[in-house]
Structure 1
Amino acid sequence: MMILFFGIRPGKTINIDMKRIKCPHCNQNNSLSGESTPNFFHLFWIPLFRVSTNQVVRCDHCKKGYYKEEFTKDMQAVFEK
């Protein structure tokens, strides 16, 4: 009998500077910050391949959060780099 440990776990979060983009909600400059977190399939706690990536943008001024589906073209362009 063999026991397998597998599952999905997040990887290292990458902070992305988005200071040159205006917040669509409050129109404040220099207030957006982005985060990108990959999710990996693990077998015995060893990451094998990336399953998905979570991307979030937050405004430090109005505290509004934007998920990938809500990104403006400018936000998408920063994440594609």
Structure 2
Amino acid sequence: MIFYGTNASRLKDGRLSNVTCPNCNKQTSMTYSVFGKYAYLYWIPVFPLGKTNVLECDNCKRTYKLKELPSQIQQKFELEKHRGIPLKHFAGSAILVALFAWIFYANAKDKENEAIYIKSPQVGDVYHTSGSNSGFYSTAKVTAIEADSIFVIFNDYEVDKKSGIKDIDKSSNYKIENTEGFKLEEIQKLYADEVIFKIDRD
């Protein structure tokens, strides 16, 4: 279950002096509170949604939103120095940015490693492949390297999602009779054409 919604935190309290309350018509003071609203995901603030200002007459205790009050009171309120939106209201956004940056870096590092692996294959390398049927995926494991030839065993199974490849990458799914040989340049072309789209190396 995903927990999300909106919430608010108190940013500042203060008092406006010498104002006339529209309810009791007394010249008095008003106590105000400024609340910062934010959206959250799993109780972590993700991004701010603006601010809400609530004022209370110190004489009659009637509460108002700022927009409900006369322009003179609104102008006096705006002259007060208010805190900006706190950084904690951006915490979730910062986490997401960091997560995406890490994913981008990890993917770039994987591709950098794969460029090395495809030039210098090793026994045990596992190639993630676009399967024999369009829209399906499988694996092939390097079992031997002789001069410029590479021998791989193809997995017995295919999956319809790349994320499912880890479920079929099991020793029992590689049968010796499914072994095929390729020239190194053939394997490199399959990688360039993205028929081999990922390489795992222990």
Q: 1-side partners of 2:14 and 2:72: how far apart?
A: 13
Shift in Å, 1:58: 1.0
Structure number with higher strand proportion: 1
Q: TM-score, normalised by structure 2?
A: 0.34
Q: Which has the higher contact order (CA 8 A, sep 6+)?
A: 1
- The answer to whether structure 1 residue 6 and structure 2 residue 4 are counterparts is yes
- The answer to whether structure 1 residue 75 and structure 2 residue 87 are counterparts is no
- The answer to whether structure 1 residue 53 and structure 2 residue 51 are counterparts is yes
Amino acid of the structure 1 residue aligned with 2:43: W
Unaligned runs of 5+ in 1: none
Q: 2-side partners of 1:54 and 1:6: how far apart?
A: 20
Runs of 4+ that moved beyond 6 A = none
Q: 2-side partners of 1:80 and 1:7: how far apart?
A: 32
Tell me, yes or no, if the aligned pair for 1:57 and 1:67 is still in contact at 8 Å: yes
- Deviation string, structure 1 residues 41-78 (Cα, Å, up to 9, x no partner): 01222212112422221112112222233121132221
Q: TM-score, normalised by structure 1?
A: 0.72
Indicate which of 64, 67, 73 corresponds to 1:66.
Answer: 64
Q: 1:12 to 1:65 in 2, by over 3 A?
A: closer
Indicate which of 2, 12, 31 corresponds to 2:29.
Answer: 31
Shift in Å, 1:13: 4.3
Structure number with higher helix proportion: 2
Amino acid of the structure 1 residue aligned with 2:10: K
Q: Percent identity?
A: 25
| 2:18 counterpart SS class | coil
Tell me, yes or no, if the aligned pair for 1:35 and 1:55 is still in contact at 8 Å: yes
How many residues are matched?
79
Q: 1-side partners of 2:35 and 2:19: how far apart?
A: 21
Amino acid of the structure 2 residue aligned with 1:53: K
Q: What is the Cα-based RMSD across aligned positions, in Å?
A: 2.2
